[in-house]
Amino acid sequence: RPPISSWSVEEVSNFIRELPGCQDYVDDFIQQEIDGQALLLLKENHLVNAMGMKLGPALKIVAKVESIKEVPPGDVKD
């Protein structure tokens, strides 16, 4: 899968759709034009306050993004 920072709004919406309990929020991500660069900047409070998400799904999304963020070259741990 390409780096998150290069994802389109459509790729982000597909990613959200795949997360358990987050399908109801796909349209919100499209309406807010969240692409990969924006997704990397999102924090739980953005999702809860600006997008009206419940805290549980917001935490899942942020945790999943953190787990697949690009590792900068040279930072790979053996």
Domain range annotation of the chain:
4-68
* Predicted TM-score (pTM) of this structure: 0.83
Report whether 42 contacts 65 (CB < 8 A).
yes
Provide mean pLDDT across the span 50-70. 92
Q: Compute φ and ψ for 27, nearest 5 degrees.
A: -65, -35
Task: Indicate the average pLDDT of the chain.
Answer: 90
Q: What is the DSSP letter of 66?
A: H
CATH top class, domain 4-68: mainly alpha
**What's the confidence (pLDDT) of residue 66?**
94
DSSP 3-state of 49: helix
Helical ranges in the chain per DSSP H: 9-18, 26-31, 36-41, 44-45, 55-68
